[in-house]
Structure 1
Amino acid sequence: MQKLRALVTGASEGLGKSFAFELASRNINLILISLPNSGLPELAAFIRSNFNVEVVYFELDLTKAELFEDIFKRIKEMHLLIDILINNAGLGNWSWFEDKSIDFYKTQIDLNITSTVLLTRLFLGHVSKANHSYILNVGSLGGRFIVPRKQVYGATKSFITYFTKCLQIEQSGSLVHISLLSPGGINTKPELLVLNHSLKGISKATILEPDEVAKEAVEGLLKGKREIIPGTLNRFLVILDSFLPGFIKGMIIKRKLNMIS
C-alpha cells in the first residue's frame, strides 16, 4: 500500500513541528513549508534520519500568495501526490488593537486567512477524486469566545471556522474529509510559556502541549471528525458557553478587561 503524503504549513516550530513528528511517526511522507532561516532544512534532515519517510521542504513566506501556484506546479513536476493538507501557519498576538501597526494586521490576515483559503483551493484541484484525502484547518477557541486583546486574531479564526464548516457541507458525499481543529492555549513559543506560566486556575488548566494537540488532531482527522477540540476541560467550556446568557458573558469579559488594564 502506498504511503500517504501530508503537506504541513508553518512546520518549523511549535504545533507545526509537532504535526511533522506525529505524521512521520505514522509512516506518512511529508512536504514541509515554513519561512526561510527557520530551521526547516535541519528539521527535514532529522526526520529523514529518525523516521522511514520522505521529506520535501519549501522555504517560503506564506504571505506571498503569488508563489502558491508555483509550489503546486513544482510538486506536480516531482510526481508527488498530496493526500493530507494541514493549514497550520498563523500569526497570533496579545495586544491592544492600537498597539500594532497596519503592516502587522495585514500580515496576520494574509497568513491566517488568505493562505488557508488559497492553499485549500489548490489542494482540491490537486487531489485524486477517486482516493480519500484530508484537510485540517487550524482554528482556535479564540474564534468562538470573545477574548480581549485578541481582536483580529480571534476574527481570523472565526473566519476559518465558518470557511471550514461551509466546505464540509460542499464536500459531503465526496472522498474529501475536512476537519476543524479548535484548540485552546498551546505552549508553542518561549514567550507563550512565560505568559501561560503566569496563568492561574481554569485558565492555566486549559493550556496544552503541542505534541498532545497534534496527536489528538491527526487521530481525529484520519477518523473523519468534523471538529476536534483537544482537552477535556476545553470541551466542557465550549458546552458551558452554549448555556451562559449573554449578559453574564459580557460581565466576565469586562472583568477580564479590568484585570489586564
Structure 2
Amino acid sequence: MATEKQTALITGASSGFGYEFAKLFAKDGYDVILVSRNGEKLQDVAQEIKMQYNVRAIVIEKDLAEPGAAVELYHEVQKQHTQVDVLVNNAGVGEHGFFTDTDMDKELFIINLNVIALMQLTKLFLQDMVARDSGKILQLASTASLAPLPLMAVYSGTKAFVYSFSQALINELKDTNVTMTVLLPGASDTDFFHKAHAEDTVIYNDTSLSDPADVAKDGYEALMKGKDKIVSGLKNKVQAAMTNVVPDSALSSGMRHYMEESSSKDKKEEKGSGGKEKITDQETDSK
C-alpha cells in the first residue's frame, strides 16, 4: 500500500488492463488519473472506483494518438498541481492484415499512440521523477515485442520499440530511486482482437486467452517490487524463452500460423455470445 497519498496516472483506463490497473491502485489507496478517449466509460470507471475505494479519481478525456495530445495531457496534470508518482503507459492498438493491404492512416495512428505518445509521456513525467528522485513507470510491451509477428507487422514493431526503449532507460535509471518495469502480456481476453480486425485468427479462436485481471496483477506486483520486466503467464514465459534460441525465420513462421484464419472461428463466436461481456475500448492493449 501507498504509505502516504500518492497518485497513479493510467492511460487506456476505461477498460481492459487499464481498468484493472485502476482498481489495483485504488485498492492500495492511490488516487488515480484516468485517461482515455472514451470519456463516458471513464466517468463510469471513476464513479465505481470512488464509491468502492474512497479515493480521488480524476477523468481526462484525451485521444493520445492525436499530435500534441500527450504534451497537452502533461500540462493539464501540471495545472491541477498533482504529482504523478506512478505512470502506467497502457494505451495501445493494433491492426491485422498483410502490410501491403492495410490502411496507412490506421498504421500511423498505431505508431502515434503506441510509440510517440508513450515516448512523450515517459520523457515528461520521468524528468519530474528523476528531479525529485522518486517514482515508478510501467510500460506495456507484449510478447510480440520479442518475435516478428507477420500479419501484425506494425503493431509488433511498435511493441519492440517499447521493449528496447524501456530496457535502455532502465539502465539509465540504475543510479536513481526511480524504477521502470516492462510488462509483456500474451494474447488476452480484451477487445483488442476485434478492434484490430483479428477476431478470425487462430490465436483468438483456438488458444487460451489470459484474464486481464491476472495480467494486470502480475504487472502491478512487479512494478511495486521494482522489477525490470515481467512476462505474464507460464505459457508466455516459455514462449518468451524460446525467442532466445529459435531463429527469427522459424519464429516468424510459427507466429504467422497463429495470426492466420481459424477454421473454428464460428465456435468461438458462439461461445463468446453466451459468455462474459467483451471489453470494448479501442485504447486497450491486450497482446
TM-score w.r.t. length of structure 2:
0.81
Alpha-carbon offset, residue 129 of structure 1: 3.6
What secondary structure, in the 3-state scheme, does the structure 2 residue paired with 1:31 have? strand
- Counterpart Cα distance in 2 of 1:53 and 1:30: 8
Alpha-carbon offset, residue 132 of structure 1: 2.7
Mapping of 1:149-164 within 5 angstroms?
149-164=151-166
C-alpha distance 44-193 of structure 1, shift in aligned 2 (>3 A): farther
Q: Which has the higher contact order (CA 8 A, sep 6+)?
A: 2
What secondary structure, in the 3-state scheme, does the structure 2 residue paired with 1:12 have? coil
Alpha-carbon offset, residue 46 of structure 1: 1.2
Alpha-carbon offset, residue 248 of structure 1: 4.2
- Counterpart Cα distance in 1 of 2:129 and 2:183: 21
**Aligned AA for 1:107?**
F
Alpha-carbon offset, residue 183 of structure 1: 0.9
- Counterpart Cα distance in 1 of 2:75 and 2:241: 44
Determine the structure 1 residue equivalent to 2:119.
Answer: 117
C-alpha distance 38-99 of structure 1, shift in aligned 2 (>3 A): farther
Q: How many aligned positions are there?
A: 256
- Counterpart Cα distance in 2 of 1:42 and 1:255: 39
Q: Percent identity?
A: 29
- 29-38 or 82-91: bigger deviation: 29-38
Determine the structure 1 residue equivalent to 2:180.
Answer: 178
C-alpha distance 255-32 of structure 1, shift in aligned 2 (>3 A): closer
C-alpha distance 17-113 of structure 1, shift in aligned 2 (>3 A): same
Mapping of 1:55-134 within 5 angstroms?
55-127=57-129, 129-134=131-136
What secondary structure, in the 3-state scheme, does the structure 1 residue paired with 2:95 have? coil
8 Å Cα contact 1:187-1:193 kept in structure 2: no
Match of residue 198, structure 1, among 201, 205, 216:
205
Alpha-carbon offset, residue 24 of structure 1: 1.3
User: What value does the CA root-mean-square deviation take over the aligned residues?
Assistant: 2.4
- Counterpart Cα distance in 2 of 1:257 and 1:126: 40
**Aligned AA for 2:17?**
L
Tell me if 1:216 matches 2:223: no
More helix by share: 1
Alpha-carbon offset, residue 19 of structure 1: 1.1
Alpha-carbon offset, residue 93 of structure 1: 2.1
Determine the structure 2 residue equivalent to 1:27.
Answer: 29
What are the superposed Cα offsets for residues 17-52 of structure 1, whole Å, 9 maximum, x if unpaired? 111112112221100110044511111111101112
What secondary structure, in the 3-state scheme, does the structure 2 residue paired with 1:243 have? coil
- Counterpart Cα distance in 1 of 2:261 and 2:199: 20
TM-score w.r.t. length of structure 1:
0.89
Alpha-carbon offset, residue 257 of structure 1: 7.6
> Mind listing any 5+ residue stretches in structure 1 that lack a counterpart?
none
What are the superposed Cα offsets for residues 82-106 of structure 1, whole Å, 9 maximum, x if unpaired? 1000001111122222332121011
8 Å Cα contact 1:12-1:39 kept in structure 2: yes
Alpha-carbon offset, residue 65 of structure 1: 3.6
What secondary structure, in the 3-state scheme, does the structure 1 residue paired with 2:243 have? helix
What are the superposed Cα offsets for residues 122-142 of structure 1, whole Å, 9 maximum, x if unpaired? 102333644531011100111
Alpha-carbon offset, residue 13 of structure 1: 1.3
